[in-house]
Amino acid sequence: MGEADQSSGFPAATNDFLEAALIPEDWGGDGRGRMNLSGRRTAIAFGNSEAPASEYVPRQYQLFDSHRVPEQAWQIQGIPEQPAICRMLSWNDHGASTAKVLLPAQFEIPAGRFTADLEIFVLSGAIQVGAWKLSKHCYSFIPAGVRVGDWKVLNGESAEVLWMENGRLQYQDLPNHPEARLGEYIPVLDSKLLPWGKTDTAQFIAANKKWLRKAANGGGVWLLALLPHYDGKQMMIQSYNEEAYGLAGWCDIGDYRFAKNHFCYSPSFSTLPRHISEDGGLFFVRVDRDLSQAGTVLSYGHSG
């Protein structure tokens, strides 16, 4: 991962990393969602913009403007040093993290493979990864051990991406691992070309959804569009871990206006306030459980 979790360090280089056991989720899942969202700290916690979270607090959701997070140098072990910077948004003790990374116009790295699953979502600019171009709002999922081609930022302009690691990441100049999950590899998915569909929960009837990746356990990654005049009417209990990033528009979550460039981390069994949006909004969402299952999202009428 990036430099935020200095205490964890990096594991020794190994070709056995795919044999590591899946990390269980704190709601009782088996880790098949390949996101490792449980037990995360965030860059800004408890409404205090000055101090980072010192520990994971169950059922304490976090909402903040990503621009308030300090910038730091970005580096992945095994990649030649790059003048890239990042804002660390969330991380946990197992090495998983989510960062907003600004790749400079001269960014280039050679072909290789990662030692943990990696998800990328492009916020602005464009990058080339092997034979594929990822432009604004394109998504990629690179499973651990899958070798990808050379990386390069395009058009002489910097690119900004959400960089989401499932574990402690190293880069290796090696061929595909013999047990790499090639069938799950998503080189590039242009969200602009995908159809809108229905959401899975009653709380978001006045909304549309585009799947980017559906995980083996039914969770996954998608874009959520709230229609104008959206009103969730009730508080809700979320029996899963969630990350979300604002792409356009806004949604009021209780007294907090969740808008473009804002980030949300909602731990399992959080109780979130009523959601309201007069103008609608577009959001990038990651969830580690199947929301179509009964009991994953519960309306909660308590007013206190």
CATH at residue 123: 2.60.120.10
Q: Are residues 92 and 116 in the same domain?
A: yes
Residue 13 has pLDDT above 70, yes or no: no
Domain boundary among 160, 192, 224: 192
Decide: helix, strand or coil at residue 75: coil
Q: Are residues 162 and 128 in the same domain?
A: yes
DSSP state of 48: B
Domain boundary among 192, 208, 237: 192
Total of domains in the chain: 2
Cα angle at 42 between 223 and 284, to 5 degrees? 5
Q: Are residues 240 and 274 in the same domain?
A: yes
Residue 123 has pLDDT above 70, yes or no: yes
Q: Are residues 232 and 125 in the same domain?
A: no
Residues 6+ apart with CB under 8 A from 7: none
Domain boundary among 192, 213, 243: 192
**Confidence band for 45, pLDDT divided at 50, 70 and 90:** confident
Distance CA 55, CA 58 (A): 10
Q: For residue 31, is it within any domain?
A: no
* Host domain of residue 109: 71-192
Report the pLDDT value the prediction gives residue 20, as an integer from 0 to 100. Answer: 54
Residues 6+ apart with CB under 8 A from 135: 122, 125, 126, 190
Q: In this structure, which long-range contacts are made by residues 73-77, counting pairs with CB atoms below 8 Å and at least 24 apart in sequence?
A: 73/3, 74/2, 74/3, 74/99, 74/101, 75/2, 75/3, 76/2, 76/169, 76/170, 76/171, 77/10, 77/169, 77/170, 77/171
Q: For residue 16, is it within any domain?
A: no
147 or 13: which leads in pLDDT:
147
Residue 50 has pLDDT above 90, yes or no: no
Decide: helix, strand or coil at residue 298: strand
Residue 168 has pLDDT above 70, yes or no: yes
Decide: helix, strand or coil at residue 131: coil
Q: For residue 103, is it within any domain?
A: yes
Q: For residue 44, is it within any domain?
A: no
Q: For residue 214, is it within any domain?
A: yes
**Confidence band for 16, pLDDT divided at 50, 70 and 90:** low
User: What is the average per-residue pLDDT within 94-102?
Assistant: 96
Contact call for residues 10 and 17 (beta carbons, < 8 A): no
**Confidence band for 292, pLDDT divided at 50, 70 and 90:** confident
Q: Are residues 210 and 234 in the same domain?
A: yes
Burial degree of 158 (CB within 10 A; 0-12, 13-18, 19+): middle
Report the pLDDT value the prediction gives residue 157, as an integer from 0 to 100. Answer: 96
